[in-house]
Amino acid sequence: MANRILYIVFIFGLLAATSLKAQEKLPKKWTAEKIKGTRRIPYASYSGSPFLNDKFATGEIEFQDGSKMDSLGLRYSTYRDELIYYNTAISAHIIIDKISLNGFSFTDESGKKRIFRRQYYNGFFPGERYFEVLSDGDIALLVYRQVVLQVCPPYNDNSGVIKDMSYQEAYNYYLYNSKKGYELIRINKNSLLSKFDKLTQKSVKKILRKNKVLVNDEQSFVIAWNLLKENGITVNF
């Protein structure tokens, strides 16, 4: 029993030390004590991925006071809605305290810049969340990139162990306005058209045909959304 208590004390001490050491050996231009966080405990191993980016990507974080730190190795956990950075000084994955940030960005493997903003969500399961900004403005198009563990047909993992759970995407897309809040939206043409009156829908269809945009996935939806903004057409929200 005594050994068990000592072990628990050791673990808590290690986590506390990691939180303090998370700021060590950062470039001199940074205010080191600003990065606050704890060591990430590995997730259970299942098929699929609990991360948006499986490899650390070079990115930037913005603190609540507006100051920024760049050239960090960042990884976003869509399973836990956590931002992780790699601390080379202690060779550890550190979860940055969400409440300390306004948001973050990183460049993915395709060269695309991904921008995330921390916002309070007052819907089902309210709380602070990271939303990816697909298109910004008075009415923003956001996505909450959630991954969940779900039951699936049995399979053998790399070690030959039979499992029946996997990480699966459960993304939710929203229209957002600071005064009106969030409105869930589906990523398809009919959902987009439903945000306009009958007369405006004709103009929307014309613009989409002219630019040969078939709205059938996230990428084409964002293209269509931005085209309509450029043409001065706003949604009913």
Looking at residue 33, what is its pLDDT? Answer: 53
Q: Give the whole-angstrom CA distance, residue 219 versus residue 221.
A: 5
Percent above pLDDT 70 for the chain: 86
- Strand 82-87 relative to strand 127-135: parallel, antiparallel, unpaired? unpaired
Dihedral sign from CA coordinates of 123, 125, 128, 134: negative
Q: What is the pLDDT of residues 196-225, one digit of tens each?
A: 999 999 999 999 999 999 999 999 999 999
Q: Give the whole-angstrom CA distance, residue 171 versus residue 174.
A: 10
> Element (H or E) spanning 134, and its range?
strand 127-135
pLDDT(167) > 60: yes
Q: Give the whole-angstrom CA distance, residue 9 versus residue 63.
A: 32
Alpha carbons within 13 angstroms on the beta-carbon side of residue 138 total: 7
Alpha carbons within 13 angstroms on the beta-carbon side of residue 51 total: 16
Instruction: Say how many C-beta atoms besides its own lie within 10 A of residue 61's C-beta.
Output: 23
Q: What is the pLDDT of residues 107-136, one digit of tens each?
A: 999 999 999 999 999 998 999 999 999 999
Q: Which residue has the higher pLDDT, 166 or 87?
A: 166
pLDDT(26) > 80: no
Q: What is the pLDDT of residues 48-90, one digit of tens each?
A: 999 999 999 999 999 999 999 999 999 999 999 999 998 888 7
Task: Summarize the confidence of residues 8-14 as an average pLDDT.
Answer: 41
Task: Summarize the confidence of residues 145-160 as an average pLDDT.
Answer: 95
Provide the residue type at 48 as one letter.
G
pLDDT(30) > 80: no
* Chain position carrying tokens 């060269």: 111
Task: Give, as one character, the DSSP assignment of residue 10.
Answer: H
pLDDT(44) > 90: yes
Looking at residue 111, what is its pLDDT? Answer: 93
Provide the residue type at 143 as one letter.
V
Mean pLDDT score across all residues of the chain:
87
DSSP string, 43-78: PP--BS-SBSSSS-EEEEEEETTS-EEEEEEEEEET
**Segments making up each domain of the chain, as ranges:** 2-185, 187-237
- Which of 34, 26, 42, 44 lies closest to 90, judged by CA? 26
Looking at residue 88, what is its pLDDT? Answer: 80
Task: Give, as one character, the DSSP assignment of residue 129.
Answer: E
Structure tokens that stand for 97 in this block: 């305290």
Q: Give the whole-angstrom CA distance, residue 44 versus residue 75.
A: 17
Looking at residue 102, what is its pLDDT? Answer: 98
Q: What is the pLDDT of residues 97-107, one digit of tens each?
A: 999 999 999 99
Provide the residue type at 145 as one letter.
R
